[in-house]
Amino acid sequence: MASEKADMAVKSPRRGLMLVLSSPSGAGKTTLSRELLKREVELVVSVSVTTRAPRVGEIDGKDYHFRSLEEFEALRDSGGLLEWAQVHGNFYGTPKADVMERLVLGGDVLFDIDWQGARQLAAKAPRDTVRVFILPPSAAALEQRLTGRQQDGRDVIEQRLAGAAVEIERWAEYDYIIVNERVDESLAQLTAILKAERLRGSRQPALSGHVGQMLADLSARRRV
């Protein structure tokens, strides 16, 4: 880990960013996240802390940081979480220290969170946060995708469609909107967003020194 951090510090003079993906269930966010992570070696997914019990096959520190309610509350109350929420009786949150350390080293962090978490991140770290909302091409397409997965009964699908309306109403809070009709096209758009945001001057602190040296060299040439 120490070697990896040293290499990242040398190769990545820029500051990392937090890439937030939000969407209603069935819009294709999970597929896009998985494909993006395969292609972008500097991008890692955020590992949340949660109070819920581990499910079969889940590994502490890889899938989630599993903590007791008391431990979660202590972390939250001490300012150790970038965002948190209560979902179905359990608490979830993003540990602040790990994410901030990675950003300083030039690494990027991917967040799969809803509009509430995205709003909290943007409030606490506006210059580091890039929010992307994934829309389905239509309500009919969304329903078809949910039905086609054959994972849920009709009552659950109706609940997801109702929840989709709540999520979609927040679309204007995001920096970028992708209408996910074709995965390959949407992935290309998402990759373009990430590349462009990495080039922001505010994320390249080494540029000031580079530009300063260039101006000094040009000034010296004029005096010759």
170 CB-near residues (< 8 Å, 6+ apart): 22, 115, 133
CA 52/CA 49 separation, integer angstroms: 9
Give the pLDDT of residue 72. 97
Q: pTM to 2 decimals?
A: 0.83
Residue range 168-188: average pLDDT?
Answer: 97
Q: Is the pLDDT higher at 159 or at 27? A: 27
Asked whether the predicted pLDDT for residue 11 surpasses 80, the reply is no
115 CB-near residues (< 8 Å, 6+ apart): 22, 167, 170, 173
**pLDDT level of residue 6 (50, 70, 90 thresholds):** very low
Question: Cβ distance 35 to 110 under 8 Å?
Answer: no
Most confident of 137-141, 188-192, 218-222: 188-192
Give the pLDDT of residue 178. 98
Question: Cβ distance 17 to 193 under 8 Å?
Answer: no
- The highest-level CATH class for domain 46-105 is alpha beta
Residue ranges covered by each domain of the chain: 19-42+108-213, 46-105
- Residue 4 exposure: Cα atoms within 13 Å on the Cβ side: 6
The CATH homologous superfamily of the domain defined by 19-42+108-213: P-loop containing nucleotide triphosphate hydrolases (3.40.50.300)
Asked whether the predicted pLDDT for residue 5 surpasses 70, the reply is no
Q: In the predicted model, what is the mean pLDDT of the chain? A: 90
Domains 19-42+108-213 and 46-105 belong to one CATH topology: no
pLDDT tens per residue across span 190-217: 999 999 999 999 999 888 888 999 999 9
154 CB-near residues (< 8 Å, 6+ apart): none
pLDDT tens per residue across span 67-77: 999 999 999 99
Q: With pLDDT > 70 as the criterion, what percentage of the chain qualifies?
A: 93
CA 51/CA 15 separation, integer angstroms: 31
pLDDT tens per residue across span 64-109: 999 999 999 999 999 999 999 988 789 999 999 989 999 999 999 9
Angle, to 10 degrees, between the axis of helix 29-39 and the axis of helix 183-198? 50
Collapsing DSSP to helix, strand or coil, 194 comes out as helix
